[in-house]
Amino acid sequence: MINDHSPLNPPTKEPLGIETLLLDAHCQLTGWSARAARFVSATLKLAEPVQTLLPVLAGYEASLEQVRRGQLPQLYLSPPDCPKGEAGLNFSLTVLTYPPTGGLVCLLTDLNEPNRPEENLRQQREDLDILRKQLDLQTARLEELSQLKANFVSMTSHELRSPLTSLKGFLDLVIEGVAGPLNDEQHRFLKLASNNTQRLTKLTGDLMDIERIESGSISLNLQDFDFYGLAQVIVGNFQVPLRERNLTLVFDARLRHYDVNADIDRAEQILTNLISNAVKYSQPHGRIVIGFEEAPSNMLLTRIEDCGIGISEADQKKLFQRFFRGANASSGGSRGNGLGLSITRALVERHGGEVGVKSTLGEGSTFSFTLPFAVPTATE
Protein backbone atom coordinates (compact mmCIF):
# COMPACT_ATOMS: atom_id res chain seq x y z
CA MET A 1 0.00 0.00 0.00
CA ILE A 2 1.19 3.52 -0.74
CA ASN A 3 0.62 5.92 2.12
CA ASP A 4 0.19 9.57 1.37
CA HIS A 5 2.40 11.17 4.05
CA SER A 6 4.00 14.17 2.40
CA PRO A 7 7.82 14.33 2.64
CA LEU A 8 7.38 17.40 4.81
CA ASN A 9 5.09 15.59 7.26
CA PRO A 10 6.60 12.17 7.98
CA PRO A 11 4.95 10.06 10.71
CA THR A 12 6.11 11.73 13.93
CA LYS A 13 6.16 8.83 16.43
CA GLU A 14 8.88 6.78 14.72
CA PRO A 15 12.36 6.76 16.23
CA LEU A 16 15.29 8.07 14.22
CA GLY A 17 17.45 4.93 13.53
CA ILE A 18 17.56 5.61 9.82
CA GLU A 19 19.70 3.89 7.19
CA THR A 20 20.02 4.96 3.58
CA LEU A 21 20.28 3.33 0.14
CA LEU A 22 21.06 5.45 -2.94
CA LEU A 23 19.70 4.25 -6.29
CA ASP A 24 20.32 5.35 -9.85
CA ALA A 25 17.59 6.05 -12.42
CA HIS A 26 17.27 2.27 -13.07
CA CYS A 27 16.75 1.53 -9.37
CA GLN A 28 20.21 -0.01 -9.04
CA LEU A 29 22.35 0.55 -5.96
CA THR A 30 24.95 3.33 -6.11
CA GLY A 31 25.65 3.87 -2.40
CA TRP A 32 24.55 2.94 1.11
CA SER A 33 24.96 3.98 4.72
CA ALA A 34 27.16 2.06 7.17
CA ARG A 35 24.51 -0.09 8.86
CA ALA A 36 22.06 -0.48 5.98
CA ALA A 37 23.01 -4.17 5.53
CA ARG A 38 20.85 -5.23 8.50
CA PHE A 39 17.66 -4.39 6.58
CA VAL A 40 18.34 -5.99 3.24
CA SER A 41 17.96 -9.53 1.93
CA ALA A 42 21.11 -9.72 -0.22
CA THR A 43 24.71 -8.57 -0.10
CA LEU A 44 25.03 -4.84 -0.67
CA LYS A 45 26.98 -4.29 -3.86
CA LEU A 46 27.02 -1.61 -6.55
CA ALA A 47 24.45 -1.98 -9.36
CA GLU A 48 22.35 -4.48 -7.36
CA PRO A 49 18.65 -4.00 -8.26
CA VAL A 50 16.71 -2.63 -5.29
CA GLN A 51 14.09 -5.39 -5.60
CA THR A 52 16.81 -7.96 -4.85
CA LEU A 53 17.78 -6.05 -1.72
CA LEU A 54 14.25 -5.20 -0.64
CA PRO A 55 11.91 -7.82 -2.16
CA VAL A 56 8.99 -5.85 -0.67
CA LEU A 57 9.51 -3.37 -3.54
CA ALA A 58 8.87 -5.98 -6.27
CA GLY A 59 5.71 -4.87 -8.06
CA TYR A 60 6.23 -1.21 -7.15
CA GLU A 61 8.30 -0.42 -10.29
CA ALA A 62 5.71 2.00 -11.72
CA SER A 63 5.39 3.86 -8.39
CA LEU A 64 9.20 4.11 -8.06
CA GLU A 65 9.40 5.63 -11.54
CA GLN A 66 6.64 8.11 -10.61
CA VAL A 67 8.56 9.12 -7.47
CA ARG A 68 11.74 9.51 -9.50
CA ARG A 69 9.99 11.78 -12.00
CA GLY A 70 8.46 13.84 -9.18
CA GLN A 71 4.92 12.74 -10.09
CA LEU A 72 4.48 11.11 -6.66
CA PRO A 73 5.89 12.83 -3.53
CA GLN A 74 7.10 9.57 -1.98
CA LEU A 75 6.53 5.85 -1.60
CA TYR A 76 6.01 4.88 2.06
CA LEU A 77 5.67 1.31 3.33
CA SER A 78 5.40 0.25 6.98
CA PRO A 79 4.44 -3.01 8.78
CA PRO A 80 2.50 -5.09 7.93
CA ASP A 81 3.02 -3.99 4.29
CA CYS A 82 6.71 -3.81 4.95
CA PRO A 83 7.71 -7.29 6.27
CA LYS A 84 10.54 -7.81 8.72
CA GLY A 85 14.03 -7.61 7.27
CA GLU A 86 16.54 -10.47 7.17
CA ALA A 87 17.51 -9.98 10.81
CA GLY A 88 13.86 -9.95 11.86
CA LEU A 89 13.85 -6.19 12.26
CA ASN A 90 10.71 -4.15 12.05
CA PHE A 91 11.28 -1.27 9.70
CA SER A 92 9.49 1.26 7.57
CA LEU A 93 10.60 2.30 4.13
CA THR A 94 10.38 5.76 2.55
CA VAL A 95 11.52 6.25 -1.04
CA LEU A 96 12.13 9.82 -2.23
CA THR A 97 13.46 11.34 -5.42
CA TYR A 98 17.19 12.25 -5.30
CA PRO A 99 17.71 15.19 -7.71
CA PRO A 100 21.56 15.35 -7.53
CA THR A 101 21.81 12.03 -9.43
CA GLY A 102 18.38 11.84 -11.04
CA GLY A 103 17.79 8.63 -9.02
CA LEU A 104 16.15 7.73 -5.71
CA VAL A 105 17.00 7.56 -2.03
CA CYS A 106 15.50 4.87 0.26
CA LEU A 107 15.27 5.72 3.95
CA LEU A 108 14.97 2.60 6.14
CA THR A 109 13.71 3.41 9.62
CA ASP A 110 14.38 0.89 12.38
CA LEU A 111 11.16 0.72 14.38
CA ASN A 112 12.76 -1.37 17.19
CA GLU A 113 15.61 0.95 17.97
CA PRO A 114 15.09 3.12 21.06
CA ASN A 115 14.95 6.80 20.45
CA ARG A 116 18.42 8.22 21.29
CA PRO A 117 18.49 11.50 19.42
CA GLU A 118 22.17 12.35 20.04
CA GLU A 119 23.42 8.88 19.16
CA ASN A 120 21.16 8.83 16.10
CA LEU A 121 22.37 12.25 15.01
CA ARG A 122 26.01 11.25 15.31
CA GLN A 123 25.31 8.06 13.39
CA GLN A 124 23.52 9.98 10.65
CA ARG A 125 26.40 12.46 10.34
CA GLU A 126 28.83 9.55 9.88
CA ASP A 127 26.52 7.96 7.32
CA LEU A 128 26.18 11.22 5.43
CA ASP A 129 29.94 11.55 5.42
CA ILE A 130 30.34 8.11 3.87
CA LEU A 131 27.65 8.89 1.28
CA ARG A 132 29.33 12.18 0.42
CA LYS A 133 32.64 10.38 -0.11
CA GLN A 134 30.94 7.80 -2.34
CA LEU A 135 29.28 10.60 -4.30
CA ASP A 136 32.63 12.41 -4.68
CA LEU A 137 34.17 9.22 -6.06
CA GLN A 138 31.35 8.83 -8.56
CA THR A 139 31.58 12.48 -9.59
CA ALA A 140 35.32 12.09 -10.19
CA ARG A 141 34.66 8.96 -12.27
CA LEU A 142 31.99 10.80 -14.33
CA GLU A 143 34.37 13.70 -14.92
CA GLU A 144 37.03 11.24 -16.06
CA LEU A 145 34.58 9.57 -18.48
CA SER A 146 33.41 12.95 -19.77
CA GLN A 147 37.03 13.94 -20.43
CA LEU A 148 37.63 10.64 -22.24
CA LYS A 149 34.57 11.31 -24.42
CA ALA A 150 35.78 14.85 -25.19
CA ASN A 151 39.26 13.55 -26.13
CA PHE A 152 37.75 10.85 -28.32
CA VAL A 153 35.49 13.31 -30.20
CA SER A 154 38.30 15.80 -30.61
CA MET A 155 40.85 13.21 -31.75
CA THR A 156 38.55 11.48 -34.29
CA SER A 157 37.30 14.82 -35.68
CA HIS A 158 40.87 16.06 -36.16
CA GLU A 159 41.99 12.77 -37.72
CA LEU A 160 39.03 12.74 -40.14
CA ARG A 161 39.37 16.36 -41.16
CA SER A 162 42.65 16.25 -43.11
CA PRO A 163 41.87 13.17 -45.26
CA LEU A 164 38.38 14.56 -45.95
CA THR A 165 39.80 17.91 -47.07
CA SER A 166 42.27 16.14 -49.35
CA LEU A 167 39.52 13.84 -50.71
CA LYS A 168 37.29 16.82 -51.53
CA GLY A 169 40.19 18.67 -53.15
CA PHE A 170 41.00 15.77 -55.50
CA LEU A 171 37.32 15.10 -56.28
CA ASP A 172 36.85 18.74 -57.24
CA LEU A 173 39.94 18.65 -59.48
CA VAL A 174 38.59 15.60 -61.31
CA ILE A 175 35.14 17.28 -61.58
CA GLU A 176 36.78 20.33 -63.13
CA GLY A 177 38.25 18.02 -65.78
CA VAL A 178 41.88 18.38 -64.70
CA ALA A 179 42.39 14.61 -65.06
CA GLY A 180 40.58 14.38 -68.39
CA PRO A 181 37.06 14.86 -69.71
CA LEU A 182 34.09 13.29 -67.91
CA ASN A 183 30.79 12.12 -69.29
CA ASP A 184 27.54 13.40 -67.66
CA GLU A 185 27.08 10.35 -65.47
CA GLN A 186 30.67 10.41 -64.19
CA HIS A 187 30.26 14.13 -63.47
CA ARG A 188 27.00 13.54 -61.55
CA PHE A 189 28.44 10.70 -59.44
CA LEU A 190 31.59 12.62 -58.56
CA LYS A 191 29.54 15.72 -57.68
CA LEU A 192 27.47 13.57 -55.28
CA ALA A 193 30.67 12.21 -53.72
CA SER A 194 32.07 15.73 -53.37
CA ASN A 195 28.86 17.07 -51.73
CA ASN A 196 28.81 14.20 -49.25
CA THR A 197 32.47 14.75 -48.42
CA GLN A 198 31.61 18.39 -47.71
CA ARG A 199 28.78 17.31 -45.38
CA LEU A 200 31.18 15.06 -43.47
CA THR A 201 33.72 17.89 -43.22
CA LYS A 202 31.00 20.17 -41.81
CA LEU A 203 29.96 17.49 -39.31
CA THR A 204 33.52 17.03 -38.04
CA GLY A 205 33.88 20.83 -37.75
CA ASP A 206 30.59 21.07 -35.82
CA LEU A 207 31.63 18.26 -33.46
CA MET A 208 34.93 20.00 -32.78
CA ASP A 209 33.06 23.24 -32.05
CA ILE A 210 30.64 21.50 -29.69
CA GLU A 211 33.58 19.99 -27.83
CA ARG A 212 35.25 23.43 -27.57
CA ILE A 213 32.01 25.02 -26.38
CA GLU A 214 31.52 22.32 -23.72
CA SER A 215 35.06 22.64 -22.45
CA GLY A 216 34.87 26.46 -22.56
CA SER A 217 37.94 26.63 -24.79
CA ILE A 218 36.53 28.72 -27.65
CA SER A 219 38.83 31.68 -28.09
CA LEU A 220 37.85 34.77 -30.09
CA ASN A 221 40.14 36.85 -32.24
CA LEU A 222 38.28 40.16 -31.89
CA GLN A 223 38.70 42.92 -34.48
CA ASP A 224 36.70 45.77 -36.01
CA PHE A 225 35.19 45.11 -39.45
CA ASP A 226 32.20 46.02 -41.59
CA PHE A 227 29.54 43.37 -40.96
CA TYR A 228 27.35 44.60 -43.82
CA GLY A 229 30.22 43.99 -46.26
CA LEU A 230 30.87 40.53 -44.80
CA ALA A 231 27.16 39.67 -45.15
CA GLN A 232 27.29 40.58 -48.84
CA VAL A 233 30.29 38.31 -49.41
CA ILE A 234 28.54 35.46 -47.56
CA VAL A 235 25.35 35.90 -49.59
CA GLY A 236 27.52 35.57 -52.72
CA ASN A 237 28.34 32.00 -51.61
CA PHE A 238 24.63 31.13 -51.68
CA GLN A 239 23.97 32.18 -55.29
CA VAL A 240 23.76 28.59 -56.58
CA PRO A 241 21.23 27.25 -54.00
CA LEU A 242 19.24 30.52 -54.22
CA ARG A 243 18.99 30.16 -57.99
CA GLU A 244 18.25 26.41 -57.83
CA ARG A 245 15.32 27.03 -55.50
CA ASN A 246 14.13 30.25 -57.16
CA LEU A 247 14.58 32.24 -53.97
CA THR A 248 15.00 35.99 -53.74
CA LEU A 249 17.33 37.45 -51.09
CA VAL A 250 17.25 41.17 -50.27
CA PHE A 251 18.92 43.44 -47.70
CA ASP A 252 16.93 45.78 -45.49
CA ALA A 253 19.12 48.38 -43.75
CA ARG A 254 19.20 52.12 -43.07
CA LEU A 255 22.97 52.26 -43.63
CA ARG A 256 25.40 50.50 -45.98
CA HIS A 257 28.13 50.06 -43.41
CA TYR A 258 28.00 48.63 -39.87
CA ASP A 259 31.31 48.25 -38.03
CA VAL A 260 31.23 45.53 -35.37
CA ASN A 261 33.83 44.25 -32.95
CA ALA A 262 33.84 40.46 -33.33
CA ASP A 263 35.77 37.40 -34.45
CA ILE A 264 35.39 37.60 -38.22
CA ASP A 265 35.48 33.80 -38.80
CA ARG A 266 32.93 33.16 -36.05
CA ALA A 267 30.70 36.02 -37.29
CA GLU A 268 30.81 34.44 -40.75
CA GLN A 269 29.90 31.06 -39.23
CA ILE A 270 26.91 32.55 -37.36
CA LEU A 271 25.49 34.29 -40.42
CA THR A 272 26.23 31.33 -42.73
CA ASN A 273 24.35 28.94 -40.39
CA LEU A 274 21.28 31.17 -40.29
CA ILE A 275 21.21 31.98 -44.03
CA SER A 276 21.79 28.31 -44.83
CA ASN A 277 18.75 27.38 -42.68
CA ALA A 278 16.63 30.13 -44.26
CA VAL A 279 17.51 28.75 -47.72
CA LYS A 280 17.07 25.12 -46.65
CA TYR A 281 13.69 25.61 -44.98
CA SER A 282 12.20 28.04 -47.55
CA GLN A 283 9.53 27.02 -50.01
CA PRO A 284 10.56 27.45 -53.68
CA HIS A 285 9.98 31.00 -54.99
CA GLY A 286 10.19 32.38 -51.46
CA ARG A 287 11.82 35.59 -50.28
CA ILE A 288 14.56 35.96 -47.66
CA VAL A 289 15.32 39.31 -46.02
CA ILE A 290 18.53 40.15 -44.14
CA GLY A 291 17.90 43.21 -42.00
CA PHE A 292 20.20 45.31 -39.81
CA GLU A 293 19.18 47.70 -37.07
CA GLU A 294 20.72 49.40 -34.07
CA ALA A 295 19.75 47.70 -30.79
CA PRO A 296 20.11 48.85 -27.16
CA SER A 297 23.47 48.52 -25.33
CA ASN A 298 25.43 49.52 -28.44
CA MET A 299 24.64 46.33 -30.31
CA LEU A 300 23.94 45.63 -33.95
CA LEU A 301 20.87 43.44 -34.46
CA THR A 302 20.85 41.27 -37.57
CA ARG A 303 17.67 39.47 -38.57
CA ILE A 304 17.20 36.73 -41.15
CA GLU A 305 13.61 36.46 -42.20
CA ASP A 306 12.15 33.72 -44.40
CA CYS A 307 8.64 32.77 -45.46
CA GLY A 308 9.37 29.04 -45.34
CA ILE A 309 7.95 26.05 -43.49
CA GLY A 310 8.02 27.72 -40.05
CA ILE A 311 8.45 26.02 -36.66
CA SER A 312 5.76 24.80 -34.23
CA GLU A 313 5.60 26.44 -30.80
CA ALA A 314 6.57 23.15 -29.13
CA ASP A 315 9.68 22.82 -31.32
CA GLN A 316 10.69 26.46 -30.81
CA LYS A 317 11.39 25.65 -27.13
CA LYS A 318 13.96 22.97 -28.11
CA LEU A 319 15.54 24.61 -31.18
CA PHE A 320 18.86 25.45 -29.57
CA GLN A 321 19.44 22.04 -27.99
CA ARG A 322 22.25 19.98 -29.47
CA PHE A 323 21.18 17.45 -32.15
CA PHE A 324 17.58 18.73 -32.11
CA ARG A 325 15.83 18.58 -35.48
CA GLY A 326 12.25 19.81 -35.71
CA ALA A 327 9.40 17.65 -36.95
CA ASN A 328 9.13 20.08 -39.90
CA ALA A 329 12.75 19.46 -40.92
CA SER A 330 12.74 15.69 -40.56
CA SER A 331 9.46 15.22 -42.43
CA GLY A 332 10.49 17.64 -45.20
CA GLY A 333 13.46 15.42 -46.08
CA SER A 334 16.03 18.23 -45.63
CA ARG A 335 19.47 17.18 -44.40
CA GLY A 336 21.13 18.40 -41.24
CA ASN A 337 22.71 17.30 -37.98
CA GLY A 338 20.83 19.55 -35.56
CA LEU A 339 24.04 21.20 -34.30
CA GLY A 340 23.99 24.50 -36.22
CA LEU A 341 21.68 26.50 -33.97
CA SER A 342 23.25 25.36 -30.70
CA ILE A 343 26.69 26.37 -32.01
CA THR A 344 25.26 29.66 -33.34
CA ARG A 345 23.79 30.55 -29.98
CA ALA A 346 26.99 29.67 -28.09
CA LEU A 347 29.08 31.79 -30.47
CA VAL A 348 26.72 34.79 -30.26
CA GLU A 349 26.63 34.59 -26.46
CA ARG A 350 30.42 34.29 -26.36
CA HIS A 351 30.45 37.75 -28.06
CA GLY A 352 28.07 39.10 -25.39
CA GLY A 353 25.11 39.00 -27.77
CA GLU A 354 21.74 37.24 -27.81
CA VAL A 355 19.82 35.14 -30.32
CA GLY A 356 16.07 35.27 -30.85
CA VAL A 357 13.47 33.47 -32.93
CA LYS A 358 9.90 34.21 -33.99
CA SER A 359 8.08 31.72 -36.15
CA THR A 360 4.65 30.56 -37.26
CA LEU A 361 4.25 27.05 -38.59
CA GLY A 362 3.61 27.11 -42.33
CA GLU A 363 4.27 30.86 -42.62
CA GLY A 364 7.96 31.44 -41.94
CA SER A 365 10.61 32.25 -39.37
CA THR A 366 12.73 35.19 -38.28
CA PHE A 367 16.01 34.47 -36.51
CA SER A 368 17.94 37.38 -35.02
CA PHE A 369 21.19 37.94 -33.15
CA THR A 370 23.16 40.84 -31.75
CA LEU A 371 26.89 41.61 -31.95
CA PRO A 372 28.67 44.57 -30.31
CA PHE A 373 29.32 47.67 -32.41
CA ALA A 374 32.96 48.59 -32.91
CA VAL A 375 32.43 52.17 -31.77
CA PRO A 376 29.78 53.69 -29.46
CA THR A 377 27.49 54.51 -32.40
CA ALA A 378 27.38 53.27 -35.98
CA THR A 379 28.77 55.65 -38.61
CA GLU A 380 28.02 55.70 -42.28
Q: Which residues in this chain contact ligand ADP in the complex, by CB under 6 A?
A: 277-278, 281, 306, 308-311, 319, 324-326, 328-329, 336-341, 365
In the complex, what is the shortest distance from the CB of residue 274 to ligand ADP, in angstroms, rounded to a whole number?
A: 7
Query: Which residue, 67 or 329, is less far from ligand ADP as judged by CB?
Result: 329
Q: How far is the CB of 302 from ligand ADP (least distance, A)?
A: 14
Residue 163 CB neighbour total at 10 angstroms: 10
Least Å distance, CB 324 to ligand ADP, is 6
Q: Provide, rounded to whole angstroms, the least separation between the CB of residue 241 and ligand ADP.
A: 14
Least CB distance from residue 347 to ligand ADP, whole Å? 12
State the minimum distance, in angstroms, from the CB of residue 318 to ligand ADP. 9
CB of 312 to ligand ADP, least distance (A): 9
- Phi/psi zone of residue 116: left (φ > 0), alpha (ψ -120 to 50 degrees), beta? beta
Nearer to ligand ADP, 120 or 312 (CB): 312
Measure the N-to-C terminal CA separation of the chain; round to a whole number of Å: 75
61 Cβ neighbours under 8 A, 6+ residues apart:
27, 51
Which CB sits closer to ligand ADP, 78 or 277?
277
- What's phi and psi for 175, nearest 5 deg? -60, -40
| Contact residues for 235 (Cβ-Cβ < 8 A; gap 6+) | 249, 275, 290
Measured from the CB atom, the residue of 20 and 344 that comes closer to ligand ADP is 344
Considering all CA atoms of the chain, what is the largest pairwise distance in Å, rounded to the nearest integer?
94
Closest distance of CB 206 from ligand ADP, Å: 9
Distance of CA 5 to the CA centre of its chain: 36
Kindly tell me which of 109 and 328 has the beta carbon lying closer to ligand ADP: 328
Contacts of 194 (CB under 8 A, 6+ apart): 168, 171, 172, 175
Comparing CB distances to ligand ADP, the nearer of 217 and 330 is 330
Among residues 48 and 306, whose Cβ is nearest to ligand ADP?
306
**DSSP three-state, residue 144:** helix
CA distances from 320 to 187, 326, 342, 346, 362 (A): 38, 11, 5, 9, 20
Q: Which is nearer to ligand ADP, 267 or 339 (CB)?
A: 339
Residue with the shortest CB distance to ligand ADP: 336
Query: Which residue type, as a one-letter code, is found at position 115?
Result: N
Nearest to 206 by CA among 242, 257, 154, 241: 154
Amino acid identity at 11: P
What residues have CB less than 8 Å from 369, skipping those under 6 apart? 270, 274, 301, 302, 344, 348, 353, 354, 355, 356
Which residue lies nearer to ligand ADP by CB, 120 or 201?
201
